[in-house]
Structure 1
Amino acid sequence: MQDLARIGISVPGRLMGRFDEVIAQRGYSSRSEGIRDAIRDYIQYEKWMSKVRGDRIGIISILYNQDKRKLVSSLMQVRHDNSGLILTTIHKYLDKDNCMDVIIVRGEGGSIRAFTEKLMANKCVKHVKLTTILPEAEI
């Protein structure tokens, strides 16, 4: 049997409730099983991200609370610092608090990955996802 590590985390009640719904839908025997599966998925995504190299076209989707003023200015600074990668941005107000941005980028994969990771590092960002493809000429 593998050594088990125990951890304690703080999770907002609403998020935990949604996670419990997923656990029930998927038939997990416990929260621990669901968390282990989520960690494995996260590790696989990080492995994929580490292999994003060469000229790429990508879409970065980001969900955040617009009322967090420091967050918005921080996100704008990260975008400004990476403006050479950005082809266009779509900004959508989802409700009175939440916004979604879709940022279309093109550039060296490592630079796109670093840009995405800087967006992820902001504490109040709720979700960031990067998808990339090779430019058509290279497929």
Structure 2
Amino acid sequence: MERFTISLSDELAAEFDQFIEAKGYSNRSEAVRDLLRKEIESKRLAENQAVYSVATLSYVYNHHERNLAERLTNLQHEAHDLVVSSMHVHLDHDDCIETLFLRGLTQHIRDFSSKVAAETGVRHSMVNLVPIKLALVQHSHSHGHFHTHS
């Protein structure tokens, strides 16, 4: 482990200590490590350098919209390699929220999320990407189709 020292003004150090306490960190080092990881991950995502991600995609939609539930289900089936799990909640008589848990190539997750958000009747969609490093194993089935598992 590498150590480094930083100098902070008394005011900034006091604010940082308040931040650490509010967030529940046990020490400054843990807080600095987390802040650095978040910044590095944000940069990787912004510059399309994060190859793999896990994500949640949440969206609200009107279940009375013609064929929308079926279209959304079909999109999920087409992206079966990305969609790990889904959760469906009835908000009121008309509206539902679904949250999909996704894993795979970051660009594929972004593309899929855009397709879902663009469906007529889908509102308030939000994707939360978390870049990860995966050890991928690729194999073929008897029918010659390749796919990847982490």
TM-score range, shorter chain: 0.5 to 0.7
Q: Which runs of 4+ in 1 moved over 6 A?
A: none
Query: Match for 1:108: what amino acid?
Result: L
Supply the RMSD in Å over aligned alpha carbons.
2.2
Instruction: Tell me which of 99, 103, 110 is aligned to 2:96.
Output: 99
Residue 84 of structure 1 aligns to which amino acid in structure 2? D
Higher relative contact order (CA 8 A, sep 6+): 1
Structure 2's unaligned 5+ residue stretches are 1-44, 136-150
The sequence identity of aligned pairs, in percent, is 24
Contact 2:50/2:131, CA 8 A, preserved across alignment:
no
Q: Does 2:71 align with 1:69?
A: no
SS in structure 2 of the partner of residue 127 of structure 1: strand
Larger Rg: 2
**Matching residue of 2:77:** 80
Give ranges in structure 1 of 5+ residues lacking alignment.
Answer: 1-47
TM-score (norm 1): 0.59
Q: Which has the higher strand share?
A: 2
Q: How many residues align?
A: 91
Report the TM-score, using the length of structure 2 for normalisation. Answer: 0.55
Letter in 1 for 2:129: T
Task: Name the amino acid aligned to 1:73.
Answer: E
SS in 2 for 1:83: coil
Indicate yes or no: 2:53 matched with 1:60: no
Give 1:30's aligned residue: none
Deviations 1:66-125 (A, max 9, x none): 111321111111111101101110100001110000101000001000100110111211
